[in-house]
């Protein structure tokens, strides 16, 4: 009957929505297609995975990749051990300090990576620390830097996770059943924060694995990010295949977070540029 | 009936104090409680506060004499460095606006735009990936797309006869870098603005319609004003995001674009015009801009949270 | 013709039937409540009157005009939502004036009308406050004023009190009724709270699973429920198994004890008829024209003004009797043998 007006309006709205989605998807996909296409053209006039083969047989690729993986691993472990007990303790015993801890955990937003690394090098190359004089020392500094970069995301994920469980009641229940602090931490708090911790961990992994700014100034070409940069300066097709590999890695980590989070938009805001 | 006028006064006192359950017995006087947060504060002091403080102090000190000076900051007012700040600010503003618009429209499409649910889930996952796909590999991807022999460049040239590089475009210039940054900017906008769009209550729209408002009136008088703080906040986040970007710009242009981050990078390397005091001042300048951006961001966020809670 | 009519209205969402075969005529100035449990279709029906949903079948007319498919923003029907739905970016005055503003009413007139509305809800001094600075009850009154400011032809209220505290709920209930009577506005009120529906309405429509169960005045609904659903949803009810039913003599037995009833039995009743009695009809002890039952006190529940006594009358049949907690009440103890009685005219068969 007289129904068409609202439904026509809805059609226009849906069309308008699709228009923007298509535009965004094009922006997202075209560079990937172009890169993939380019990565297959290492030989004239044929499509080949040669560039990928060269990367995967490059010892430097595996060396730098596993180095960055190790750095990421340590950064994740340190982040969790640092953030979870702190956030828990703040909620339980020192709620007055919460704004302060929140503020501190947001500081890395204010200090860009390039500024952070500048300060880190200046402070820790001289006495009393002298961390930059040894390999172990530079690795420690890099891990610390990564923990700082990840801090805002890790803290927020953990704090949100703690907000979703009733920390005080759980703790009191555990205490009334005779549990000590260790048991409470490892048998109650950590398991209940599984989702938050895992998504924080994979987000850290995704940002740290190809990280360039901190790595190049602290450890140089030992890390994966600087390695990619080096390849980009000398080898055209291989750099495209590295971009695709790196993209797939990011995709895998983010996909895992998505699985843990079940479609919540929270928790995957980006890290270092 | 006498109850009515009374009741209007009845609740005024209780407004605003009913948030948050009572915080049970946090007795923070005991030193043992502070022990629990010592590692965190020690770590952040060592690796955030100390490095920042070092740069700050260094920025106010004469390099050779060690005395207090404002000379390092005066050194910022050279055409070279002012232009670095100006280009960085412009590129950040352009990508924040562009990424903000595209990201907002996409988030709009999947929240209130009437698209099927799977589009939303897919878009959010894609955005999570793209927002984190930055730095060296992103530069490679755009070289393969919009570089001189990039797919899109070649496509436009052969199919449409449009030679981008003849038209004055270059991937290694301001606009090229902006297009590249947009790749992680608009997904970041999608991720930050989607929750705000979700927060638009269906009842607001219905109430507006019920009161006689058209769709246009609803958007201009209700929805957009409510969304304005989160939109501005998200754009400021985007601004900061490009402002601090280094790896992408460096690998794309090889350091030939004059950005603050690139200038600081070369100061760290100490290769050209080495002047540590100036480097420190540059870094402090960046932190000041970022801190201002973050302050505005948090002020806006507080306002929209106040509106949207309950 | 009635002011607002809903004729053969039905609404399906996919395979689910939300509302079926809904027919109702509402007179000008009448206050009608839709009462029912959640999911009974009452809100869907209200939303069809507001225009947020289109009926699958049927016609809605308002003031002799077919509004079935009219867009909501052209209906001039005021609506108050459960969660207030005040615009958070506007002050109280701006919220109330919004409907007039989009109608391009001159500012001076808007201001005058806003002041009238603020006076009506007794919130004059709150004009420049924002919603987040007000309590739930105040916000809901502003929402009411906003809906009334456009001088709507019908006022629709969708569970307006359910988000509020018990005490404010009662206050605001009185105020809604006062304002409705002052303005004489036709009102449709959706609620799941029987007390609200009974105390506010001229007529109540009891709904269940998309159907109208019964339409009547609060008195009719409570005292003469026509279906088992209405009888048990509105108020408390004892539903007791009976035997030896004799329709002509209007008698039966309840746990072996004889009972008479007076109500007509011409209404259709189920295959296993049961006797319905409200708990407040019972007394302790005997009286003229009453059925007498013998039993033992099983539990006593103290409810304040009322004490609910559960009496085992044999064969495992329990009756609930509500006794007024007056000083004169001689309260039995658990285990005591007691006599309870109820009027012959106060019970009926379902």
How many B×C Cβ pairs under 8 Å?
110
Say which range, A139-143, B279-283, C263-267, has the weakest mean pLDDT. Answer: C263-267
Is A125 within 8 Å of A131 (Cβ atoms)? yes
pLDDT at residue C269 in the model: 66
- CATH architecture of residue range(s) C236-349: Beta Barrel (2.40)
- The CA radius of gyration of chain C, in Å to the nearest whole number, is 25
pLDDT above 80 (res B273): no
Q: Which chains reach chain B with 3 or more Cβ–Cβ distances below 8 angstroms?
A: A, C
**pLDDT over 50 at B11, yes or no:** no
Residue B20 at interface with chain C, using a CB cutoff of 8 Å: no
User: Which distant-in-sequence residues (6+ apart) come within 8 Å of B51 by Cβ?
Assistant: A111, A116, A118, A119, A120, A122, A123
Q: For residue A186, what pLDDT band results from cuts at 50, 70 and 90?
A: confident
Q: What does the pLDDT read at residue B100?
A: 95
List all residues 6 or more positions away from B78 whose beta carbon is below 8 Å from its beta carbon: none
Q: Tell me if C68 and A1 make a contact (CB, 8 A cut-off).
A: yes
Q: How confident is the model at residue B20 (pLDDT cuts 50, 70, 90)?
A: very low
Pick the closest to residue A75 from A162, A151, A129 (CA basis).
A151
pLDDT-based confidence at residue B171 (cuts at 50, 70, 90) = confident
* pLDDT for C285: 82
Q: β-strands C77-80, C154-158: how paired? A: parallel
Which residues of A make CB contacts under 8 Å with C? Answer: 1-3, 5-6
Contacts of C70 in chain B (CB under 8 A): none
Range of weakest confidence among A21-35, A50-64, C245-259: C245-259
Q: How far apart are CA C252 and CA C258, in angstroms?
A: 6
The runs of H, that is alpha helices, within B46-173 are 50-59, 71-74, 79-111, 117-132, 136-146, 151-159
Are C87 and B226 inside 8 Å of each other by CB? Answer: yes
Residue ranges per structural domain of chain C: 4-232, 236-349
Report pLDDT for A51: 87
Contact B34 A94 (CB under 8 A): yes
Those residues whose C-beta lies under 8 Å from the C-beta of residue B37, and which sit 6 or more positions away, are A86, A89, A90, A94, A97, A101
Q: Is there a domain that residue A114 lies in?
A: yes
Q: In this model, does residue B15 exceed pLDDT 80?
A: no
Closest CA to C4 of C54, C52, C67: C67
**More confident of the two residues C80 and B306:** C80
Tell me if B55 and A122 make a contact (CB, 8 A cut-off).
yes
| pLDDT tier for residue B310 given thresholds of 50, 70 and 90 | very low
Mean per-residue pLDDT, B287-307: 85
The pLDDT score that the predictor gives to residue C266 is 56
- Give the tokens for residue C350: 């379902």
What is the full per-residue pLDDT of chain C (350 aa) written as tens digits? 789 999 999 999 888 899 999 999 999 999 999 999 988 999 999 999 999 999 999 999 999 999 999 999 999 999 999 988 999 989 999 999 999 999 999 999 999 999 999 999 999 999 999 999 999 999 999 999 999 999 999 999 999 998 888 889 999 999 999 999 999 999 999 999 999 999 999 999 999 999 999 999 999 898 888 888 888 888 888 888 888 888 788 888 888 888 888 765 556 666 778 888 889 888 888 877 788 889 999 999 998 888 999 999 988 889 999 988 888 778 888 989 999 999 888 888 87
Q: Kindly determine whether residue B58 and residue A122, on different chains, have CB atoms separated by under 8 Å.
A: yes
| Predicted pLDDT at A273 | 46
pLDDT confidence of residue B14: 36
* Per-residue confidence (pLDDT) for residue B271, from 0 to 100: 61
Confidence of residue A272 (pLDDT cuts 50, 70, 90): very low
Considering only CB atoms, which chain A residues are within 8 Å of B27?
93
| pLDDT cut 70: percent of chain A above it | 92
By residue range, what is the domain housing residue A142? 58-261
The CATH number of the domain holding residue A152 is 1.10.3720.10
Domains of chain B plus CATH, in order, are 33-69 (no CATH), 78-275+283-308 (1.10.3720.10)
User: C4-232: CATH homologous superfamily?
Assistant: P-loop containing nucleotide triphosphate hydrolases (3.40.50.300)
Q: Which of B133-137, B284-288, C76-80, C87-91 is the least confident region?
A: B133-137
pLDDT at residue number B8? 35
Number of domains in chain A: 1
Mean pLDDT on B61-81:
85
Dihedral, CA of residue A83, residue A89, residue A95 and residue A97, to nearest 10: -50
Q: Which of B24, B48, B122, B275 to mutate to test the interface with A (most CBs of A within 10 A)?
A: B48
Residue A120, in any domain of the structure: yes
Which pLDDT tens digit goes with each residue over A5-20? 456 667 888 898 999 9
Residue A2 has pLDDT above 50, yes or no: no
Question: Is B151–A30 a contact, with Cβ atoms under 8 angstroms apart?
Answer: yes
Tell me which of A234 and C322 has the higher pLDDT: C322
**pLDDT band for position B42 (50/70/90)?**
very high
Q: How many CB pairs under 8 A join A and C?
A: 10
Average pLDDT, chain A: 85
Asked if the structure places residue A17 within a domain, the reply is no
Residue A85 in any domain: the answer is: yes
């Amino acid at each position: 009957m007289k129904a068409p007006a609202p439904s026509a309006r809805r059609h226009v709205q849906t069309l308008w929505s699709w228009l923007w989605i298509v535009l965004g998807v094009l922006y997202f996909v075209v560079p990937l297609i172009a890169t993939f296409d380019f990565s297959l053209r290492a030989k004239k006039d044929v499509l080949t995975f040669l560039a990928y083969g060269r990367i995967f047989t490059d010892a430097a690729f595996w060396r730098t990749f596993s180095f960055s993986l190790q750095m990421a691993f340590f950064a994740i472990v340190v982040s969790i051990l640092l953030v979870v007990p702190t956030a828990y303790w703040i909620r339980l015993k020192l709620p007055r300090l919460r704004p302060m801890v929140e503020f501190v955990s947001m500081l890395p937003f204010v200090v860009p990576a390039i500024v952070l690394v500048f300060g880190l090098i200046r402070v820790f190359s001289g006495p009393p620390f002298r961390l930059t004089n040894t390999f172990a020392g530079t690795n420690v500094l890099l891990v610390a830097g990564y923990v700082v970069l990840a801090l805002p995301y890790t803290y927020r994920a953990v704090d949100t996770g703690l907000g979703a469980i009733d920390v005080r009641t759980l703790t009191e229940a555990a205490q009334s059943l005779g549990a000590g602090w260790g048991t409470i931490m490892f048998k109650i708090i950590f398991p209940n924060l599984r989702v938050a911790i895992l998504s924080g961990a994979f987000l850290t992994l995704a940002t740290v694995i190809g990280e360039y700014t901190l790595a190049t100034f602290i450890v140089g070409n030992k890390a994966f990010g600087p390695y990619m940069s080096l390849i980009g300066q000398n080898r055209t097709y291989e750099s495209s295949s590295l971009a695709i590999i790196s993209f797939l890695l990011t995709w895998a980590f983010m996909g895992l977070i998505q699985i843990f989070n079940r479609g919540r938009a929270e928790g995957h805001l980006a890290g270092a540029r | 009936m006498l109850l009515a006028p009374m009741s209007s006064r009845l609740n005024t006192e209780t407004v605003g104090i009913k948030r948050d359950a009572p915080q049970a017995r946090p007795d923070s006087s005991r030193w043992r409680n502070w022990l629990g947060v010592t590692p965190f504060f020690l770590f952040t002091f060592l690796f955030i506060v100390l490095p920042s403080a070092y740069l700050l102090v260094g920025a106010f000190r004469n390099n050779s004499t060690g005395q207090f000076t404002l000379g390092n900051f005066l050194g910022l007012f050279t055409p070279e460095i002012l232009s670095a700040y100006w280009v960085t600010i412009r590129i950040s503003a352009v990508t924040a606006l562009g990424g903000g618009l595209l990201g907002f429209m996409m988030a709009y499409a999947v929240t209130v735009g009437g698209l099927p649910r799977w589009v939303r889930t897919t878009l959010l996952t894609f955005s999570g990936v793209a927002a984190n796909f930055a730095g060296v590999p992103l530069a490679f991807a755009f070289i393969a797309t919009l570089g001189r022999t990039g797919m899109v460049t070649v496509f436009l040239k052969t199919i449409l006869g449009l030679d981008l590089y003849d038209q004055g475009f270059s991937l290694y210039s301001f606009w090229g870098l902006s297009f590249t940054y947009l790749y992680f900017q608009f997904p970041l906008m999608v991720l930050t603005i989607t929750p705000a769009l979700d927060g638009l209550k269906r009842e607001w729209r219905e109430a507006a319609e019920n009161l006689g408002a058209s769709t246009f009136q609803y958007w201009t008088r209700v929805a957009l004003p409510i969304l304005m703080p989160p939109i501005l906040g998200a754009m400021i986040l985007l601004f900061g995001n490009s402002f601090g970007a280094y790896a992408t710009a460096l690998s794309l242009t090889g350091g030939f674009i004059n950005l603050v981050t690139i200038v600081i990078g070369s100061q760290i390397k100490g290769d050209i015009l080495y002047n540590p005091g100036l480097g420190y001042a540059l870094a402090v300048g960046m932190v000041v801009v970022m801190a201002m951006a973050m302050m505005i961001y948090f002020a806006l966020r507080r306002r929209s949270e106040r509106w949207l809670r309950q | 013709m009635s002011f607002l009519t809903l004729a053969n209205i039905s609404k399906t969402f996919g395979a689910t039937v939300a509302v079926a075969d809904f027919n109702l005529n509402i007179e000008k100035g009448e206050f009608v409540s839709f009462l029912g449990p959640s999911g009974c279709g009452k809100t869907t029906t209200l939303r069809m009157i507001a225009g947020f949903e289109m009926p699958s079948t049927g016609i809605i007319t308002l003031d002799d005009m077919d509004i079935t498919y009219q867009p909501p923003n052209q209906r001039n029907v005021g609506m108050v939502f459960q969660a207030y739905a005040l615009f958070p970016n506007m002050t109280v005055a701006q919220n109330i004036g919004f409907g007039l503003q989009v109608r391009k009413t001159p500012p001076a007139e808007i201001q005058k009308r806003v002041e009238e509305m603020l006076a009506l809800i007794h919130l004059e001094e709150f004009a420049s406050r924002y919603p987040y600075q007000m309590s739930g009850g105040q916000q809901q009154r502003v929402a009411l004023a906003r809906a009334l400011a456009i001088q709507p032809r019908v006022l629709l209220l969708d569970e307006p009190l359910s988000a509020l505290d018990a005490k404010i709920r009662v206050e605001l209930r009185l105020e809604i009724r006062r304002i409705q009577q002052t303005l004489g506005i036709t009102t449709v009120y959706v609620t799941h709270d029987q007390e609200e529906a009974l105390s506010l309405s001229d007529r109540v429509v009891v709904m269940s699973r998309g159907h109208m169960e019964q339409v009547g005045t609060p008195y009719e609904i409570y005292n003469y429920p026509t279906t088992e659903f209405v009888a048990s949803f509105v108020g408390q009810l004892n539903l007791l198994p009976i035997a030896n039913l004799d329709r002509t003599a209007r008698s039966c037995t309840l746990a072996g004890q004889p009972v008479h009833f007076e109500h007509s039995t011409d209404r259709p009743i189920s295959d296993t008829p049961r006797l319905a009695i409200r708990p407040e009809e019972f007394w302790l002890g005997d009286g003229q024209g009453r059925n007498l039952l013998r039993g033992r006190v099983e539990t006593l529940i103290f409810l304040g003004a009322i004490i609910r006594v559960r009496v085992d009358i044999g064969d495992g049949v329990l009756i609930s009797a509500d006794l007024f907690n007056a000083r004169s009440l001689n309260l039995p103890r658990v285990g005591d043998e007691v006599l309870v009685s109820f009027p012959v005219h106060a019970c009926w068969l379902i």
